[in-house]
Amino acid sequence: MVLTKQKTIQIGLLGAGVVGSGIIKSLLNHPLIKIKKIGVKGLNKKRDWGDSVGNSRDCSLQTTTNLTEIVTDPEIQIIVEALGGLNPARDLVTLAIKNKKHIVTANKDLIATYGPELFDLARENNVQIQFEASVCGGIPIINTLKQTLNANKFSKIMGIMNGTTNYILTEMLSKNLNFNDCLNEAQKLGYAEPDPTSDVSGKDAAYKIAILSSIAFHERIKINEVYTEGIEKITLLDILTAEELGYRLKLIALSKKEDDGKIDVRVHPAFIKQTNPLASVLGVNNGVLVEGDLVGELTLIGRGAGQSPTTSSVIGDLNLLAAQLSYSREPHPQFVCHHTEYAKIKPMKDTVNCYFLRLKTEDKPGVVGQIGTIFGSHDVSINAFTQRGINHDDTASITMLTHKVKEEKIQNAITELKKANSIKQVENLIRVLE
């Protein structure tokens, strides 16, 4: 970036972990932005940040454990929050905004949970919060929605927003492995956290789709209203059956603005068509597909986590702010959150989907008829039905695809199926997104 004859901008960095270290390395030789202070947990750790071209050096940057001192320093204009988690990030960012600092953060938990109060406070204090790195790491989706695509009315955002689960699903398919083996391998390789709950349960992706929905649809989303289901119950058989039927199984984060004004926002495993661009998002990559009235369908694919991709987004935000601060103290209107209304969320029971079902049944005359009768009585229309042979325990494995139907109706049908003597188990229900 060429930024000449400008005054140096001093920033404070909170956190010097994986993300923080990446930011430090990239800023060591920045022509305009200087890190004045770095907030760390302890001062004893030897730090050797080096620079982005590999020159190693002991860090002479000023580190402190007094993070309050950083966010209240009158010479610091921008605070980069790279602590992660809700606390103390929330209190420190709040204090920083009250002290008229602009904020750059990579913290999705913070933005998805406390975004409304922080954006309101930022508006009151005439400062800006930039958070490109909080959703899908290196994929430039937030500023793209806010700025480059702002002429569009968006109808849908659909994405693969978690690298850990996408890695697991990709490995299960390519190596014929089960879920636990792939999770263990992902942990060994450092792709999955030692406690992978947030990723595997879909929560991480829920934070991200909540943030993107609120930007695209100009309404705030309460994170606990996002229906969330993870990949814990997914089996290799589900994945292989999806392939056989022309689909691919992915953990999908979806948000749609419906005609009734409600937002249908959710995260769950889904069969998507193999021709969908998201079907070719492999391994730890993320992908986001947006649908706008002018641009049509657009997909961005890339690294959703990791030091370098996250640093790419953070420094991009910093450069944007620095360029802006060179001519005005006023926040750029396209980057200020003006919406204050909360979205009306479509309850999951009212959403409409096609479904894939896997059943274990008795193998005797009348079972298929019984399934058909139960489905018929709940307005569930069957699109495809296959008996996939007999198991060791003499039960039959049946897989089915339905036509589009309201979630409430299929759930009622399943409740009734579970009561039928001939149905031994409803093994899985996976939504099919057409």
Catalytic residues: 208
Nearer to ligand HSE, 50 or 302 (CB): 302
Site for ligand HSE in 281-310 (CB under 6 A): 304-305
Provide the token pair at 98: 């009250």
d(CA 15, CA 257): 37
In the shown chain, the binding pattern of residues 249 to 288 toward ligand HSE, with x for contact by CB under 6 A and - for none, equals: ----------------------------------------
In the shown chain, the binding pattern of residues 201 to 240 toward ligand HSE, with x for contact by CB under 6 A and - for none, equals: ---x------------------------------------
Nearer to ligand HSE, 287 or 304 (CB): 304
Closest distance between ligand HSE and the C-beta of residue 168, in Å? 10
Site for ligand HSE in 179-208 (CB under 6 A): 199, 204
Nearer to ligand HSE, 85 or 347 (CB): 85
Number of residues in contact with ligand HSE under rule CB under 6 A: 8
In the shown chain, the binding pattern of residues 111 to 150 toward ligand HSE, with x for contact by CB under 6 A and - for none, equals: ----------------------------------------
Q: Is 162 in the site for ligand HSE (CB under 6 A)?
A: yes
| Candidate list 143, 164, 311, 351; residue touching ligand HSE; CB under 6 A | 164
Applying CB under 6 A, the span of 71-79, 156-164, 334-342, 366-374 interacting with ligand HSE comes to 156-164
Site for ligand HSE in 362-391 (CB under 6 A): none
Strands 63-64, 33-39: parallel, antiparallel or unpaired by DSSP? Answer: parallel
Closest distance between ligand HSE and the C-beta of residue 136, in Å? 8
Applying CB under 6 A, the span of 66-74, 112-120, 121-129, 158-166 interacting with ligand HSE comes to 158-166
Q: Which of 47, 39, 32 is nearest to 12 (CA)?
A: 39
The Cα angle at residue 233 between residues 231 and 237, in degrees rounded to 5:
100
Question: Which residues make beta-bridge pairs with 129?
Answer: 103
Q: Is 15 in the site for ligand HSE (CB under 6 A)?
A: no
Nearer to ligand HSE, 285 or 402 (CB): 285
Closest distance between ligand HSE and the C-beta of residue 189, in Å? 12
Site for ligand HSE in 25-84 (CB under 6 A): none
Nearer to ligand HSE, 113 or 402 (CB): 113
| Buried-state track 243-278, b at ≥16 Cβ within 10 A, e below 16 | eebebbbbbbbbbbbeeeebbbbbbbbbbbeeebeb
Q: Is 16 in the site for ligand HSE (CB under 6 A)?
A: no
Nearer to ligand HSE, 108 or 431 (CB): 108
Nearer to ligand HSE, 115 or 304 (CB): 304
Q: What distances in angstroms separate CA 99 from CA 51, 70, 92, 350, one per listed residue?
A: 31, 11, 10, 45
Closest distance between ligand HSE and the C-beta of residue 208, in Å? 7
- What does the binding site for ligand HSE look like in residue numbers (CB under 6 A)? 108, 162-164, 199, 204, 304-305
